[in-house]
Structure 1
Amino acid sequence: MSSDSLPPNPPSGADDDAPGPRLSARETWRVLYEHIRPHRPVIALGALLSLVGSACALSQPIATKTLVDRLGDDEPIAGILLVLSALVLLGTAIEAVAQYVLERAAESVVFTARRRLTGRLLRLRVSEADRIPPGDLMSRVTSDTTLLRAVTTQAMVAGVTGALTVVATIVMMGVLDPVLLGVTIGVMVLIGGATALVMPKISRATQRSQEAVGEISTVLERAFGAFRTIKASGAERRETETVWNATRKAWRHGVQAAKWQSLAASSVGLSVQVSFLAVLGIGGARVASEAIEVSTLIAFLLLLFYLIEPVSQLVSSATQYQEGAAAIARITEAERLETEPEAEPREAAAEGGRQDPATAGEPAVGDGPAAVAFEDVTFRYREELPPVHQGVSFTVPSGGMTAFVGPSGAGKSTVFGLIERFYDATGGRVSLDGRDVRDWPLAELRAAIGYVEQDAPVLAGTLRENLVFAAPDATDEDIREVLVRTRLDTLVERLPEGLDTRVGHRGSRLSGGERQRVAIARALLRRPRLLLLDEATSQLDAVNELALRDTVAEAARHTTVLVVAHRLSTVLLADRIVVMEAGRVRAVGTHAELVAADPLYGELAATQFLATATG
């Protein structure tokens, strides 16, 4: 896409410490339930096993009390020792199985969330994708979904089982001695109330930390996306500092979250230790006064120590819920971005006129070159921005080549974006074959169009995968034919693995001209009814440009070709030329007509076109 149609960058300079989107507690639980609903049976099984394991552990203090009583009464203890050993082994085994079941379920939740989120993000409307940095979107798919693992196993299952275990432990303590239970609860409530005050701080720090991680992904994506430019500009140190600033911000918020989490976690140990001292002192006095037996005090102390784990689970669940809630808010925000309708690719392609390869460039039966019309079209990227198109009107009949020329910023490439429905016109009507493009099924519309962007993106993978990217059913004969037409056959012969040679990240192992030829070949292999070329020969040398110019001219005999042109040689091939300026159509005609009638075109032909042609 050329500079005249680039969407604006997302606004920057927002408050670094301002928290991002938040959901209410009710909505957070609703969204969380939607994520775990498909995995309810497995999670329920894990929770049940955890409760059974906790029951085995809870039985151990009672068995210990019985053991002490039998020792005091000089009764046999072999049986109770066997029971106690069995409880220890059985509880450990069941807890291990429960942990595996829950972790497996959590991984399944993460897998499902990533699959669903990726499916939506790849169907985002282009206008939505323009607003959010790619690195931030990637962070939501990777790091944010990872936090669902903890919230589904710890914040929910461990929280529920921990709460039930705490209740059961307290009941057993009450049965043993209500007085000591009152001492224990008094201490824990006092310290627990102070702990509850730090939970909101954990939530805010965690959310800011996750947003900072997304910012790291954004700046790294920016750096690696312009890797050669950074090196050529000697900007490695500056870009490194930018990444360091983002990592420093993530570190700062991470440390804040860790501080509050540590305070919450340490409060558990503090409450148990203070409770132990209180129970030991008061319990010792009650034993001395013969209010309770020594075995009762020992069992109570064992239960008190056992209480550490479920209470720790509750505190951990609360902190992990705060992390998960922030992640869920970010994931939900991404899922609410506007997407394009999901299509059925095979049926849509067939309806859209994907031609039989045997026709070798001829239009399919019943389909022919597409006609395009713009009727008083207006467009702007956002309400607060100036218009890109202001009443653009022109008609392109089926067949032949139409060139769009004009100074930078005239809105030429935006014409292609509106035809492809990357954006929808703000006003007016864009039609293909007399039918408003908004009334076409999206997949059917795009299946009829071949589009070559100015930067001619090549995807990581093999050369073959790039060629058949838009036409996965293309045969080897189709590929050979298009390689010859685009002068790529000699390149393939030189490559060590031919078509199966990997082209590197963004086609880094290919030259700029080779990437453009691959993009053109990919579009031609689709055999479209409408071919859009956005400065598709700008990086080609004179020999290859001449060859591809002939290829485009040949394609124009069987399809409709629209081209944004900056070279006179391309413009001279056009059957009609649309001159644009400041978002309007200034004139339409042939080269000879426009040179004689339009001063702007005459100036372009005498300066820009000729300079480009001879440069």
Structure 2
Amino acid sequence: MEVSDTQSTRRDARTTQRDGRAREEREPRPGAAEDRAHDRAKDGTAENLSARETWRALYRHFRPHRATVALGGFLALIGTVSGLAQPLAAKSLVDRLGEDGSITGILLLLTGLVLAGTAIEAVASYILERTAESVVLAARRTLIGRLLRLRLPAVERTQPGDLMSRVTSDTTLLRAVTTQSIVSAATGGLAFLTTVVLMGLLDPVLLGVTLGVIVLIGGAVALVMPRISRATRQSQAAVGEISTVLERAFGAFRTVKASGAEERETAVVAAAAQEAWRHGVRSAKWQSVAGASVGLAIQVSFLAVLGIGGARVASGAIAVSTLVAFLLYLFYLIDPVSKLVTAVTQYQVGSAAIARIAEAERLETETLEPGEPEAVGGRGPATVTFEDVTFRYRDDLPYVHHGVTFEVPGPGMTAFVGPSGAGKTTVFGLIERFYEATGGRVLIDGRDVRDWPLTGLRAAIGYVEQDAPVLAGTLRENLVFAAPGASDEEIREVLVRARLDGLVERLPDGLETLVGHRGSKLSGGERQRVAIARALLRKPRLLLLDEATSQLDAVNELALRDAVAEAAREVTVLVVAHRLSTVTLADRIVVMDAGRVRAVGTHEELVAKDPLYGELAATQFLTAAR
């Protein structure tokens, strides 16, 4: 089959206009939110949430634990009440001393109040701290589950290190704001109001002096709160940048060393750490200002009350015991005021973290159905059809596919060949639904892949990526990664087919041998064989091989070609290959160029009728005989 460029261009224009209009009418452009998030990430800032949105997000994290937090808050309130009774007991003690009465009962009462208040507050603190850790755990589980379901375009637009920072660093900041901050605001507010009422009952004049000083200094504190939030947000973004640059360096560790780039990469990481330090110090500075203002307000109030109260005692307006009780309440006021300031400060810090977490939660995810995935279309080899498919990765990027059309029956092997950038690997990404076609349809067994359950679709496919990634862990864990229920007999069989049985015998711990970070303890060819074995162990209906034998020596390549050819008798195999030895085994070959299908046929047919394939066969495939 041969498709002319003129026909493809006309069809591409019609399809793009039709599907583009329909998609815009149905839903917003996929990835628009990710684009905005990516742009903000480049600026090192997170999206600002309104106060209502922040509280709504806070409540979502707080809600499952509200009963436990209420219990901790109730106990903290009891501890506060016991503290409020102490100045009154002290007043009675002073009055009793003036009357030469017995003070034993009052001393016992004071001692009991102190001990009971301390014990109750300790229990309340433990309950709240434990709940705070539970809030962080739940937030991390939810966020991790969501991030691992992100659509591939969303991941590609966001730095992995920044996403990891939101799971680790940002969720940690939820600890205080979702428990201590809420409880501190509630208990501190009630204690403050109660204390003020009791101080007013003792002497309204001294209360007016105290409140005047607190309001004056409190107004200044309110001005620094937005600065705390801004500095914290910038600090968290900088921490995310540290994770990003470290992930980049460790991801290409051998390249860093081979390039002699250790010092340069160290400088990059140090610069990111310096930026995080700078914003962290700025946040600490404003938090210190807020905290110190509390002590300043109380101390100034104490001096004012001591001077004015002493004058009122001298004039006989109030008794000495009243002044003593008032001063005790004044010192006691430090705690609720500190709690209120701490609650507001923690809220400012937490709101920055919540904004970054909420931003990650708005990234577009895939819908994975619960339960056991069922193979698409039942059993047997799958058929694959592309109907006038157009695709581009983003609206601001050029099209990768321009009306791609082909049909692959099953079973058998179909090879995709063409120059670099022709769109061969993208074919696999569309079949796996890593990406959605911009126009046209991708069909498996005659049904659009968008109509299949995503878990079922991928359960029917074995996919070997171009770089054949191997995960840190044991060899066994990597082999059963896509088929966790595989038996030992099935594993042994696939080891033989992938020519890994000899490797397993040489390894010190066999299948339980650790393969290192990204399979660093294995050679490139061994990693490819592990990836192929992993795909075969899944027993797929459709096997996708993207340059799966590019790093193998001639002996192992020949053996694996035989294994793939054997698999092609039972399943449908699609392979992207540049080696002639692999391509000539295919039942059909699809020649792609500049996002279009030029021709489809066997090796002999294409050599005779397609100039591009003939050139590839003579040069890229390294063969002179055609």
Q: TM range, normalised to the smaller chain?
A: over 0.9
Distance 2:43 2:604 in 1: 61
CA displacement at 1:10 relative to structure 2 = 8.1
Counterparts in 2 of 1:326-405, with a 5 A limit?
326-346=352-372, 348-349=373-374, 351-352=375-376, 367-405=379-417
CA distance in structure 2 between the partners assigned to 1:565 and 1:524 by the alignment = 18
**CA deviation string 1:439-493 (max 9, x = no partner):** 1111111111000001111111111111111111111110000001111001111
Secondary structure of the 2:621 match is: helix
State whether residues 462 and 500 of structure 1, in contact with CA within 8 Å, keep that contact through their aligned partners in structure 2.
yes
What is the letter of the counterpart of residue 120 of structure 2? I
Which residue pairs with 2:517 in the alignment? Answer: 505
Superposition pairs for residues 189-268 of structure 1, below 5 Å? Answer: 189-268=215-294
The 2-side partners of 1:50 and 1:150 are apart by 16
Q: Please state if 1:87 is matched with 2:99.
A: no
- In structure 1, the residue matched to 2:91 is 65
Return the alpha-carbon distance in structure 2 between the equivalents of residues 223 and 295 of structure 1.
Answer: 69
Tell me which moved more, 90-99 or 324-333. Answer: 324-333
CA-based RMSD of the aligned residues comes to: 1.7
Does residue 291 of structure 2 align to residue 279 of structure 1? no
CA drift of 1:19 comes to 3.3
Paired residue for 1:603?
A: 615
* 1:131 CA drift (Å): 1.0
Q: The residue matched to 1:421 in structure 2 has which SS?
A: coil
Cα drift, residue 594 of structure 1: 1.1
Counterpart residue type for residue 152 of structure 1: T
**Cα deviation digits, residues 138-157 of structure 1 (max 9, x gap):** 11111111111010122211
Superposition pairs of residues 170-569 of structure 1, within 5 angstroms: 170-346=196-372, 348-349=373-374, 351-352=375-376, 367-569=379-581
Partner of 1:3: none
Alpha-carbon offset, residue 497 of structure 1: 1.1
CA distance in 2, matches of 1:31, 1:529: 44
Could you tell me how far 1:587 is from its partner in structure 2? 1.3
Separation in 1, partners of 2:152, 2:40? 23
Residue deviations 1:481-514, cap 9 Å, x none? 0001111001111111111111111111111111
- The one-letter amino acid of 1:344's match is P
Q: Mark the CA change 1:538 to 1:17 in structure 2 (over 3 Å): closer, same or farther.
A: closer
Q: CA-to-partner distance for each residue in 1:278-327, whole Å, 9 max, x for gaps?
A: 00000000011111111111111111111111111111111110111111
> TM-score, normalization: structure 1?
0.94
SS at 2:396's partner residue? coil
Distance 1:598 1:19 in 2: 53
1:119 aligns with 145
Give the Cα–Cα distance (whole angstroms) in 1 for the partners of residues 624 and 311 of structure 2.
100
The answer on 1:140 being equivalent to 2:166 is yes
- Residue 258 of structure 1 deviates from its aligned partner by 1.1
Quick one: which of 592, 601, 614 aligns to 2:604? Answer: 592
Q: Give the AA of the match of 1:158.
A: S
Q: CA deviation at 1:15?
A: 8.9
Could you say if the C-alpha distance between residues 430 and 307 of structure 1 is closer, same or farther in structure 2, counting changes exceeding 3 Å? same
Amino acid at match of 2:467: D
Q: Give, in whole Å, the separation in 1 of the partners of 2:278 and 2:525.
A: 46
Deviations 1:539-565 (CA, angstroms, capped at 9, x unpaired): 111110010000000000000000000
Q: Of 71, 81, 92, which aligns to 1:45?
A: 71
Deviation (angstroms), 1:598:
1.2
Secondary structure at the counterpart of residue 609 of structure 1: coil
Any unmatched runs of 5+ in structure 2? 1-30
CA contact (8 A) 1:265 1:312 kept: yes
Query: Are the aligned partners of 2:298 and 2:334 in contact in 1 as well (CA < 8 Å)?
Result: yes
Conservation of the 8 A alpha-carbon contact between 1:403 and 1:565: yes
Instruction: Give CA-to-partner distance per residue, 1:100-144, whole Å, 9 cap, x none.
Output: 000111111111111111111111111111111111111111111
C-alpha displacement of 1:344: 2.7
Deviations 1:27-71 (A, max 9, x none): 111111111111111000000000000111111111111111111
For residues 378 and 148 of structure 1, the distance between their equivalents in structure 2, rounded to whole angstroms, comes to 44
CA contact 1:567–1:612 (8 Å) conserved in 2:
no
Structure 1 unaligned spans of 5+: 1-6, 354-365
Return closer, same or farther for 1:162/1:100 CA change in 2, 3 Å cut-off: same
Q: How far apart are residue 367 of structure 1 and its match?
A: 1.9
Write the distance in 2 (CA, Å) between the matches of 1:40 and 1:342. Answer: 30
Q: Distance in 2 between matches of 1:198 and 1:51?
A: 29
> In structure 2, what is the Cα distance between the partners aligned to 1:15 and 1:96?
41
Indicate the residue corresponding to 1:4 in structure 2: none
Structure 1 distance, partners of 2:35, 2:367, is 24
In the alignment, the residues of structure 2 paired with residue 276 and residue 448 of structure 1 have an alpha-carbon distance, to the nearest angstrom, of 76
Over 3 Å counting, the alpha-carbon distance change for 1:314 and 1:557 in structure 2 is same
In structure 2, give the amino acid aligned to 1:270.
Answer: L
* Distance across 2 between alignment mates of 1:511 and 1:62: 78
Task: Give the partner amino acid of 2:365.
Answer: T
Query: Matches of 1:492 and 1:543 in 2, distance apart?
Result: 18
Secondary structure at the counterpart of residue 574 of structure 1: coil
In 2, the alpha carbon distance for the partners of 1:44 and 1:190 equals 33
Whole-angstrom CA distance in 2 between matches of 1:524 and 1:10 = 37
Structure 1 contact 10–130 (Cα < 8 Å) conserved: no
SS state of the match for residue 263, structure 1?
helix
In structure 2, the residue matched to 1:357 is: none
Cα pair distance change 1:528/1:345, threshold 3 Å:
farther
CA–CA separation in structure 1 for the residues paired with 2:193 and 2:386: 71
Instruction: Determine whether 1:152 maps to 2:152.
Output: no
Equivalent in the alignment of 1:161: 187
* CA–CA separation in structure 1 for the residues paired with 2:522 and 2:349: 44
AA aligned opposite 1:576: R
Offset of residue 368 of structure 1: 1.4
Equivalent residue number for residue 103 of structure 1: 129
Aligned to 1:33: 59
TM-aligned CA deviation for residue 203 of structure 1: 1.2
May I ask how many residue pairs the two structures share in their alignment?
A: 592
